[in-house]
Structure 1
Amino acid sequence: MTIEGGCRCGATRYAIAADHIDAIYCCHCTDCQRWSGSAFSEQAVVRENAISATGPVIEFTLTTPSGAQSHQRACGVCHNRLWNSNSSRPGIVTVRAGTLDHNRTLTPRAHIWTKSKQPWVVLPNDVPAFEENAPIAEFTAILTR
């Protein structure tokens, strides 16, 4: 089975070879707020070898404060950011969950960087929330349960 998504203008489409995507989280850091132009970003974690794209995909690289290389992929026409990989997490990509065709069916499993969240955003009590990045082992356990 595949899960599909694409950019705002429709020029770039992607497919993820998976039956379902459960590893969804929301990031409330100020970088994600700026990138998304919204209060937070909703992201899906998938294996890098599971994603393929058609249409014009551009890539640009940023160096993170930790020194890791963040490789951003976006539509070459409308520049809608679609997914990224990071040299500190080989084999994993982070898909912008809002670009998935069926994004309304997703349920976040965690919220990170809540110390930067907008004051009007109310988080559910039953979803783990972290003031900054979650400890990697705990975060992995939450996303893979």
Structure 2
Amino acid sequence: MIEGGCRCGAVRYMLAVDSLPAVYACHCHICQRASGSAFSLQALVREDQLAVTGPVITREFTTEDRVSTVRYCSECLARLYNTNSARPGIAVIRGGTIDRSEKLVCKAHIFTAYRQRWVSLPTDIPQWPEAAPLAEFVTALNA
């Protein structure tokens, strides 16, 4: 089991996985605005592997042809994870909410055309200027 939670501790979650999930960095403007930083670090997990306890609030955001439902702690408003109508059954966990996040390994970078120019990306990690082709992205995360 892998655990995580919000910054105040009111919300905790458990992932029914044996090891830390692979993470990727998204450099799109939406993630920059949502994180207040240069990118968002995220992990994809099956929604049925995620068990959450504590006071969670949800907000829906529509972007182009999809709806993203974001879950926040109702106390500290930390953004924990979201689901997306384009990827049913998948939860997108915010990497910084995972306990032992300093041990996460970033396997890919997406939307690099929008990255902050002072961010240097490693040349040995797959990266795409926009969204990654699904098969290539899955291969990168599982490498």
Asked if Structure 1 and Structure 2 have the same fold, meaning a TM-score greater than 0.5 normalized by the shorter chain, the answer is: yes
Give the TM-score, by structure 2 length: 0.96
| Cα deviation, residue 23, structure 1 | 2.8
Amino acid at match of 1:57: V
| Cα deviation, residue 49, structure 1 | 0.3
The reply to whether residue 86 of structure 1 matches residue 87 of structure 2 is no
| Cα deviation, residue 140, structure 1 | 1.4
The aligned counterpart of 1:27 is 26
| Cα deviation, residue 143, structure 1 | 1.4
Amino acid at match of 1:5: G
Counterpart among 90, 94, 97 of residue 95 in structure 2 = 97
Q: Which moved more, 1:18-27 or 1:131-140?
A: 18-27
Give the TM-score, by structure 1 length: 0.95
| Cα deviation, residue 144, structure 1 | 2.4
How many residue pairs get aligned? The number is 143
Which residues in structure 2 correspond to 1:46-85 (within 5 Å)? 46-65=45-64, 67-85=65-83
Any conservation in 1 of the 2:22–2:104 contact (CA below 8 Å)?
no
CA RMSD of aligned residues (A): 0.9
Write the distance in 1 (CA, Å) between the matches of 2:93 and 2:45: 7
Write the distance in 2 (CA, Å) between the matches of 1:21 and 1:132: 26
Percent identity, aligned pairs only?
Answer: 52
| Cα deviation, residue 37, structure 1 | 0.6
Any conservation in 2 of the 1:21–1:46 contact (CA below 8 Å)?
no
The aligned counterpart of 1:125 is 123
Any gaps of 5 or more consecutive residues in structure 1? Answer: none
Write the distance in 1 (CA, Å) between the matches of 2:25 and 2:133: 15
The aligned counterpart of 2:16 is 17
Amino acid at match of 1:125: T
Any conservation in 1 of the 2:47–2:91 contact (CA below 8 Å)?
yes
